[in-house]
Structure 1
Amino acid sequence: MKTIREETPRYIRVHEDDNVAIVVNDNGLSAGSLFPCGLRLTEHVPQGHKVALSAIARGETIRRYGEVIGYALRDIAQGSWIDESLVTLPEAPPLESLPLATRVPEPLPPLEGYTFEGYRNADGSVGTRNLLGITTSVHCVAGVVDYVVNIIERELLPRYPNVDGVVALNHLYGCGVAINAPAAIIPIRTIHNLALNANFGGEVMVVSLGCEKLQPERLLSANGDDVQAISLGEEDIVRLQDERHVGFEAMVQEILRVADRHLQRLNQRQRETCPASELIVGMQCGGSDAFSGVTANPAVGYASDLLVRCGATVMFSEVTEVRDAIHLLTPRAADEATGKRLLEEMAWYDEYLRQGQTDRSANPSPGNKKGGLANVVEKALGSIAKSGRSAIVEVLSPGQRPTKRGLIYAATPASDFVCGTQQMASGITLQVFTTGRGTPYGLAAIPVIKMATRTALANRWHDLMDINAGTIATGEESIEQVGWRLFTLILDIASGRQQTWSDRWGIRNALAVFNPAPVT
């Protein structure tokens, strides 16, 4: 009879100053489990959750990542489980006194010779896909556009084998809104810049209703110094209320006629070898757990540094999942002006939350807590690991496009769908998405590489997760090894040599444009 060998109890302690560690073992560990160091658990501790490495008195600090993540609400015995109910939320770092550009990282050695097969555009940008994007100026037309997209996919695309697909850029904006409110610049700029994403090859067409507040002329114009105008002829704009459209079929045929003209031009494009410096990659996390900050996100950070060393552009985002670690980022700003821009975006979002009568404690989610994250401080400290070690060279407001290459902070809400949409407006042509709890999230216009933080998730969702970082927790691979694997996968996905699982299944989440302005 075979004897089942029990797995040795293991934990991960991130920093030598930490008085907590997280349990590595699948399904957690039972009371009485003895770690090799001699620590014994006093109770069951779920996988990913924190165990007290020493006794912590009521009111004393709880440390992880070498930082204070909270204070003990009662005496905590050594070897006991520290769940979120035992941890009070500390104050957020004050923005007024943070150091700016005081520890600017030296540039890492350049990486040369890395390329991918991309689609070069007339404006110099390079896409990872060759898609027709149909911009809508108001949500009222979304149903009609979706109807026509089905016809295009069924009847037109087979004639154009070099075109990867068609994407309806639908959204919930355009009318019933305070179009002149100061904050309206964010959704208008976002919708404008979505149309300019490099994966659409510079072929812009707009479907409008006709009576909406966000008229095509306003949508296409330069809405600020940071937005380039889009020059379109009337033949590229379809207004459904135009009197020459008699009946629904007339509208459909007009959209098909305009789309067919753009498809003809897109079909002439071919992939060509481009330097990795032309990539714009977004880094995001969602459904995070306590492993996110020690496996997947550090591996993403290592890959981010590799991309920056190639001269590429890397964006990280999610304001509420950066705010409590902002004191670790402002010293990394390339200069004081960039550091001040970081503070401006943090302050803007603090005020946005205040006006909504909430604060940063609204994050994390129930799933984050089930995965071992006590609060937004612990979550933020793990989240910023995606940024690697490079200097932050630019800070973007929501929906802005970058003017520099390198590591960029693109301010967005932390919501997966909103962050993805805003990063796409800021120009990413590929996204890396880490998750510990699991999500089938995908975007129609952007390949999304999903990385699991735990091997258990990677095995259970074997046909949804593209790469497993759980091997870092078990010691099978290093952060550097997984980072290199991710870097290679990014080049393969960008080149069309491999498909993400989201793309294989056709999983597409709706765009969610960030609109902080009033709705009337």
Structure 2
Amino acid sequence: MLADAQTAPAVRTGDEPRTIRLHDTDNVAIVVNAFGLPAGTVFPDGLVLRDFVPQGHKVALADIPEGAEIRRYGEVIGYALDAIPRGGWVEESRVRTPTAPRLDSLDLATRVPAPLPPLDGHTFEGYRNPDGSVGTKNILAISTSVQCVAGTLDVAIQRIRRELLPRYPHVDDVVGLTHAYGCGVAINAPQAVIPIRTLQSLAKNPNFGGEVMVVGLGCEKLVSERLLPDGQTEGVVRLQDESHQGFGMMLDSIMRMAEARLEVLNRRRRETCPAADLVVGLQCGGSDAFSGVTANPSLGYAADLLVRAGATVLFSEVTEVRDAIHLLTPRAESEAVARDLIREMAWYDDYLAQGGADRSANPSPGNKKGGLNNIVEKALGSVAKSGTSAIRGVLAPGERVREKGLIFAATPASDFVCGTLQLASGITVQVFSTGRGTPYGLAEAPVIKVATRTELAERWSDLIDLDAGRVATGEATIEDMGWELFRLILDVASGRTKPWSDRWGLYNDLTLFNPAPIT
């Protein structure tokens, strides 16, 4: 599919007019040159632009009659609303979005990929936990059972960082798992299982070393003990406890409980672990038309390498999978896994319908400025992150991962909600691709940012960790970038390399997905 991108001559963007066509049945290609190309530009094959075409936007390679298919990735991404001449700009307003694939007529586990050859001998330096999981950071995480205590916890964390952390040099940080849930909500509504399960799973992330503590208020609907791991009976500070004589004593209680856990975490040390112990989340945000050409296929190649090494890889974002689901259900390891994929797609279709919305609410205005006409085109580029391995399992929102290999973790496409849910599912490293750019980061796990375009990587040189735009300019192949990313993941997981978000301390808040009613 990506032959043109991989074998192009080694020229820099802007040296000569260039397009990338992804499949021999495509009747459109995207403009590679930074800042686009003017009308009248002549390409080596004789194509002449009829209009100015921005970088990443599509140009018609042949006359496309009104109502005819527009094809990219070898798939139909839309229908022409008017006749588009050869060399014309295939702009959003000229494209009708196709209907989504029917969920009741998909192939199930009909083209299961053969196992890839094992990849042995790759290791990283991680923190092994008593339950066998391995972290890439050593963090004290403090959960909250209700939003009411978030301000108090913020003050306590400032004191912990100032007064306690210097005495425990082997602990990386202390973070609050704060949220806007816990009370004023329909706690027994069927869909309340999602935010509650997410909070329960978050506390068990391997980067937290199993040292769970909860700060609660005392009168909230979400009882604090529900956030403790099974079998744990201690680890809750309630601000309404009658022993607390004022705010200072509340802070003292949090400090004492935190220090007891810091003493345990401070004894953790990195040790050599096989790459099979990694749990890596893949996500994209601020996507553009290059996402499915450069960065996401590179993530997909790295995902295959990780799977070959025995690791766990999660890809997500239901609305950015839904229109490519016909490409995924045949890759499911079994019919049961394929039906689990369909279950999550159907649940989200219903969720959007109840809200009076549909999949057309995605993509964002910025995605469209980057050349993505509609959600079909975006989804086809998004699923490139999944590589070529068989899909071994499916997680409902907030579920912890159980299998090794390639896993679909159902989440919304929102960067912050997806990141929160992937953390709950157990990722210890995240790889985040972006074409338009976003200063996204997570305090709870290192985030490796991959740019789809060299222009973005150069302009944001102190935010982007890897430039996949070199695929578009012919300076690297997808295989090159996949291996480079794989090695970078091992270095970041080992603490040898800090991604830019960690160097800056640039982190987004956690954001729960709560489809249940608020009372």
Shorter chain as denominator, the TM-score bin is over 0.9
Quick check: 1:310 aligned with 2:325? no
Q: Which structure 2 residues correspond to residues 47-62 of structure 1 after superposition, within 5 A? A: 47-62=55-70
Q: Tell me the distance in 1 between the aligned counterparts of 2:75 and 2:369.
A: 21
Q: Tell me the distance in 2 between the aligned counterparts of 1:403 and 1:507.
A: 30
Give the ranges of 4+ consecutive aligned residues of structure 1 lying more than 3 Å apart after TM superposition: none
Q: Which structure 2 residues correspond to residues 80-479 of structure 1 after superposition, within 5 A? A: 80-220=88-228, 229-234=229-234, 236-479=235-478
Q: Give the aligned length.
A: 507
Q: Tell me the distance in 1 between the aligned counterparts of 2:69 and 2:232.
A: 59
CA RMSD of aligned residues (A): 0.9
Structure 2 unaligned spans of 5+: 1-12
Q: Render the CA deviation track for 1:451-470: whole Å, top value 9, x for unaligned.
A: 00000000000000000000
Normalised to the residue count of structure 2, the TM-score between the two structures is 0.97
Normalised to the residue count of structure 1, the TM-score between the two structures is 0.97
CA contact (8 A) 2:281 2:313 kept: yes
How far apart are residue 218 of structure 1 and its match?
2.9
Q: Tell me the distance in 2 between the aligned counterparts of 1:139 and 1:485.
A: 41
Q: Tell me the distance in 2 between the aligned counterparts of 1:69 and 1:54.
A: 16
3-state SS, counterpart of residue 257 of structure 2: helix
Which residue identity is paired with 2:312? T
Q: Tell me the distance in 1 between the aligned counterparts of 2:318 and 2:105.
A: 19
Residue 38 of structure 2 corresponds to: 30
3-state SS, counterpart of residue 225 of structure 2: helix
3-state SS, counterpart of residue 504 of structure 1: helix
Q: Render the CA deviation track for 1:39-62: whole Å, top value 9, x for unaligned.
A: 110111000000000010111010
Q: Tell me the distance in 1 between the aligned counterparts of 2:70 and 2:315.
A: 27
How far apart are residue 493 of structure 1 and its match?
0.2
Q: Tell me the distance in 2 between the aligned counterparts of 1:378 and 1:175.
A: 40
Q: Render the CA deviation track for 1:3-26: whole Å, top value 9, x for unaligned.
A: xx9721000000000000000001
Q: Tell me the distance in 2 between the aligned counterparts of 1:423 and 1:233.
A: 27
Q: Tell me the distance in 1 between the aligned counterparts of 2:231 and 2:220.
A: 20
Q: Tell me the distance in 1 between the aligned counterparts of 2:337 and 2:26.
A: 31
Which residue identity is paired with 2:388? R
Identity percentage of aligned residues: 69
Q: Tell me the distance in 1 between the aligned counterparts of 2:369 and 2:434.
A: 13
Q: Render the CA deviation track for 1:237-262: whole Å, top value 9, x for unaligned.
A: 10000011011000000000000000
Q: Render the CA deviation track for 1:118-147: whole Å, top value 9, x for unaligned.
A: 000000000000000001001111111111
How far apart are residue 83 of structure 1 and its match?
1.1
3-state SS, counterpart of residue 510 of structure 1: coil
3-state SS, counterpart of residue 293 of structure 2: coil
Q: Render the CA deviation track for 1:395-429: whole Å, top value 9, x for unaligned.
A: 00001012110000000000000000000000000
How far apart are residue 217 of structure 1 and its match?
2.5
Q: Tell me the distance in 1 between the aligned counterparts of 2:401 and 2:241.
A: 37
Q: Tell me the distance in 2 between the aligned counterparts of 1:101 and 1:403.
A: 20
How far apart are residue 185 of structure 1 and its match?
0.3
Structure 1 unaligned spans of 5+: 221-228
CA contact (8 A) 2:47 2:87 kept: yes
How far apart are residue 219 of structure 1 and its match?
3.2
Residue 224 of structure 1 corresponds to: none
Quick check: 1:10 aligned with 2:18? yes
CA contact (8 A) 2:200 2:226 kept: no
Residue 491 of structure 2 corresponds to: 492
Which residue identity is paired with 1:337? A
Q: Tell me the distance in 2 between the aligned counterparts of 1:409 and 1:82.
A: 32
